[in-house]
Amino acid sequence: MESLLQVAPLFNGLSADDLAPISAASRLVSLKPNTLLFRASDPALHFFLVTKGSMRLYRLTPEGKEKVIEIISAGQTFAEAVALVNKPYPVYASALEPTELIAIPSQVLRDQVLINHGLAFKMLASLSLRIHGFLNDIHTLSLATAQQKVAGYLLAFLEQSDHEQIIRLPATKAMIASRLGLQPETFSRVLSKMKEQGVIQEDKNQILILSSSALKQLRDTA
């Protein structure tokens, strides 16, 4: 369990003694695709580390439609903020594919943060990165056109992946479109136009960025 926990930036670098109480209290969870892990307003008894697969976090509109908030990939944690402040989950969480997680009791996190300054600083760093990601999302969603939104989304991926030119889409196009506030056919149409312009190449769920400068121009041009 400790080796699995160390995959997460939140726990990486902590000693075996630091991880022991967290590991001892945690449990493994396996989910089939589309299995609901928790609902919005459920008490946040655990936060989670994805070790395999991926999760989608979403809200429901008044009409009952899903609005994807975030897609969580292997190696990432989620729900740690509400676990830390003892608040209910603000979103629904469901598996996108066969997924394995580590469920870590919220109380253990709160106890360890009080006595372990190293974990407390890592917690702050993790939440700061999450806030930075949400700010990027807000910026992308505030852009006027579908082209700008898709270009901004791809550029944010480049930033997160240390400017690696190959992007592996973390979910279906329909779910990514939902996250961007677009219709799936609009998202696909924008990608097709970018391919025609020689900005990207696409192979199944991977996108090769041929020109980041052209992508920036598409983002900044209404």
pLDDT digit string (tens) for 131-149?
666 666 666 666 678 999 8
pTM more than 0.85: no
Q: What is the pLDDT of residues 71-121, one digit of tens each?
A: 998 988 999 888 888 899 999 999 999 999 999 999 988 888 888 777 777
Residue 84: the pLDDT is 84
Query: pLDDT tens digits, residue range 154-205?
Result: 988 887 766 568 888 888 888 889 888 888 999 999 999 999 999 999 988 8
The mean pLDDT of the chain is 86
The alpha-helical segments, DSSP class H, found in the chain are 2-5, 16-25, 80-85, 106-115, 117-142, 146-160, 173-180, 184-196, 212-220
| Best CA proximity match to 214, nearest among 197, 201, 192, 196 | 197
Phi, psi of 47 (to 5 degrees): -120, 170
**How big is the CA angle at 176 (ends 143 and 189), to the nearest 5 degrees?**
70
